Structure 1
Amino acid sequence: MRLYNVRFIIAGIIIGIFYWFIEGLMHYFFFDFEGTLMENLFYPIPHELYMRILIFGLLVLFGIYSNKISRKRARDVINTERNRLYTLLDNIPALVYLQAKDFSIRFANQYFREKLGNSINKKCYEVLFNFNKPCNNCQISRIFVNKTPIEVEWESKRGEVYQIYNYPFEADNKELLALSLGFDITKHKRSEKALKKSEFRYHILFDNMLEGFARCKIITDNHDNPIDFIYLNINDAYEKLTGLKREDILGKRVTEIIPDIKNYKPNLFEIYGKVALTGETAKFEIFFDPLKIWLSISVYSFKKGYFIAILDNITDRKIFEEKLIESEEKFRTIAEQSVMGILIVQEGIIKYANESLSKINEYSIQEMMNWSSSELINIIHPDEREFADERIKKLSLGSKEIPPNNIYRMVTKSKKPKWVNVYTKKIQYQNNEGLLTTVLDITEKKEAENLIKDELQKLKELDQIKDDLIRRISHEIKTPLISIYTTTNLLLNVYKEEFSNKILDFIILINEGGERLKELVGNMLDVYDLESNKVKLNLKTHNLVDILEMSIGILQSQIAKRQHKVEINLPHEVYMEVDYDRIKQVFMNLLTNALKYTPPQGKISVQLQENNSHIDITIKDIGVGFTEQEKEKLFKKFGKIERFGKGMNVDSEGAGFGLFIAKQLTRLHNGELILKSEGRNKGSTFTIRLFKQNQIINNQTIY
């Protein structure tokens, strides 16, 4: 037992001993003058001895009693604090649990119980992983060996991801436990995955940008001061602007590539570091000495510690500005001849205004020279005055954060609104600082833009009217067509014997024309529905081999008529979830296309092959084939390649909807339509590739 736990008993004994000695000394000095000091201290008379022993015993008993009371109070305080701790842990919106060395869970808070049920005294590997034995290389078990915190990630059976922090925890009975705190980071993880999926699309976008683009990572010292950065990615435009090549800079520090970059003005490390570490945006201009060009650089941060720099070559504009400022006489000559309005303001007073500005705002130069700063702002539209005033004040103070260019609405002297593009820059004029402002009237451009927008909207409305008209006409034609087609079928099949051969020829001609028109109307309606996203697939599991064989059977009369040889290489059965009618329509369109564009007595092969990730249905012919230019047109609406009158002995009937519909329906089935042809008169191969579930596909047609 530690001395601290018996401190009150020891105190009672010490006080008793102290009392014994005091009592002996008092007897020696005040009451018993005959006895010696040793006799009074250690050999008192009997009644005095009994009294001392009694009082000594009472003091020791008092110490024992006080010790019991103290320990009881301590236990009460510990129980109270433990209950408060468990109450606090119980209300934390995170997984909180205590785990023993034998993997049993001793405590679980309310959040844990709601997510995983009551798990007290159950094994952690049973509750968390649904295992029947401890995990291999259990990281948490290291707490009981090293007594150091451990951080792990855990994904629940429901797909929730938790960041779990594990700490050593000593229970009241001195047992070492592992205290685990788990925070839900599912949204964060999903965001990371979504970001990774979108990276490919961003790469395409950035590679085609006209401006230079660079993605970089900032490097800091121990005090979080930016000292360097690493190139992670650049686009083609960045290479052209800077002369730096991907293979020479990616993954390298910029100080290795451009050693004197630390001497650049403005300080690039300060600007890039501020953006990467704070998330603020920045835009500035810099002279790139190796290529002797001026660059406008916009900087953004997509993640702490990283930044994106977008570069634009502004050398032409900078050269113009510098030459403008070099000589006031040259400046005035250029200014007076310029179509841009030019204004110089110093300390709120207009020092110079050219004739072009007067023509734009309709005020005379003399009127403008007498304006105060507030009157100058009043020519800006009321809705934009406050913003313009604040911007001018910041530019006057030399702010680098304000972009020099902006577009405003100006109110002229005749109260006519005009759109102007305003560029403002701080300059030295007559040995004093001032603001140079150029004003370009872009009213006609804005009106043209608005006119274009209106015309585009009208075109969209006309396009919609066209689509609606086609659909209505198609529906109106469809009903009498069906009547004509069914009636002629009835005459040919039931009353054939009652007509002469000449009349039968006319009936057959009407029937065939009705069939073609019915097919054309059906195709037009399908095209409308596909473009309007109105086609909904009725997906069910079907044997693709059966559908393919049925499609070939329907076309037997056409095959026989053109004396084609059809080679079929199909397995017994291949099942897949498809829309029966729509996938059959795809097969029919491609088979019909092969029959039409293969000269008589040609060979057509049909093959179905199943792979791990997809199923390929291949239809190959030895027909007229396609050039590269024809391939580009083939899958568009009205993308028919005209063969009539070219001596190819092929059937050129049709409006050019078949392959467009086949491609769109294949895409709806999460598939792709692939065309291969080596050129004119070298045949063609169409492959319908249907991807199995959970396969990533490329929706583009492959040539």
Structure 2
Amino acid sequence: MAYTSEENYNPEDYLKDTLNKLDIGFVKVSNDDIILNHNLTFNKIFGYNHEKDLFGTKNLDYWLNSEERNKFREVLFKNGIVKKYITPAKKLDGEMIFLQITFKLNKNSKGEIISSEGIFIDVSERIKTEQKLKESEEKYRVFMETAKLEDLKASLYEKDLLARIFMDNISGFVVLLRPSTREIIAMNNYAKDMGGIPGLTCYSTIGQSENPCPWCLSPKLWKTGEAQHLVVDALDVTWDTYWNPISDNLYLHYGFDVTDQAKREKNLKELNQIKSQLLRRASHELKTPLVSIKGFTDLLLKLKTEEFQSKSLPIVQEIKDGCSRLELLVNDIILASKLESSQIILSKSLENVSELIFSAVKVLKGFSHARKQKILFDLHEEMFTMLDKDRIQEVLTNIISNAIKYTPKNGTIKLKSKTSKGYFVIMIEDNGIGFTSEEEKNIFTQFGKIERYGQGFDVVSEGSGLGLYIAKKILTKHKGAFG
């Protein structure tokens, strides 16, 4: 599908069209685990004709076993999201495959779960390769323990035998190297096909003439004997490579062609960029009418208040307040998408962080007073550093606002500072409700808001769920961090 003008551009069609071009499955299911929607890649992965509509079928039918599916749903409904979950599944013809799944719950405005949806990719080849490698490494360990080939001064026959015992049938290159010279002691057929020759060095045979070759670029290993894992590009291929010291005189080096996986990850990044563009575009489209509605509402309240009936005035005020909340959400979405796509450029100047903290507290003074909270200070008088004043002010306002929201009425909030290894450390302590270790993992993600609505806590649960995500992005651009 092509989009040639603004008039025939439809964000939903564009996103669906993009998903169907990628080897990424998409599925949406009801609370009863019935499929509500899916894309063409879903059919492709599970072996169905692309014209087959699987709407209304049971999601359980595609899991290899119900126990694994129940375990997955338990994690999903506990955390609200599951990322990169590896599980076996079954195709239409009964063949077992492995999927990597990312799923999330969908909620309505009341916080009720109405459905769940997510994406998945087929990682069967990767899982099979890893299993084969583990089996091969175990064979090698047993061989070395029984053969006790400590000095490695073995015959060519013994070297070839060593390669056949634990290296063949691996869909990647495996090489035994002598660390002092990089001489190839033994290798599998995959490495031989790449040009490797036993008795010669890896950098002079496997398609490379320079010294060392890309696969020898493992400084930790060669200098300290420490194992290393790197993803490198060589010979127009992306390799997932590993170096492991077996003994002082023997290193095991193996790698796998992950070019297709790297392309899929690139496609996922592009999809993420499309998502950000869609959010940004939709947000801008929402912002224009919001500004108009809010402006006319302000005008009505200013010029026509006396003409409203007593029952009408609160309704108009509620419209204004609703517009203000939506405007904040739209602004957060636009800023988050800009940060995600690195469109924000910092304008740094020398500023006193202490003054920015006091300014943020002053802005929130009415909020904290309304909740009858005390804010205590133990700050350095001067904390000068180079920063973007407006952005850091936004970060400080956000985290102090969160402390006020999630600290019960009559609570106490303490703002402290210290220096550590050339950094200023700002600490915020409160006697709020806190959060679990699982919640801690999600609070800096997009829409990773901690839900406390209806749980009996005296806290304020309103918010877009983007505040801390934005704050972390801004702090990271300043080479700072949350601790």
Higher relative contact order (CA 8 A, sep 6+): 2
**TM-score (norm. length: structure 1):** 0.35
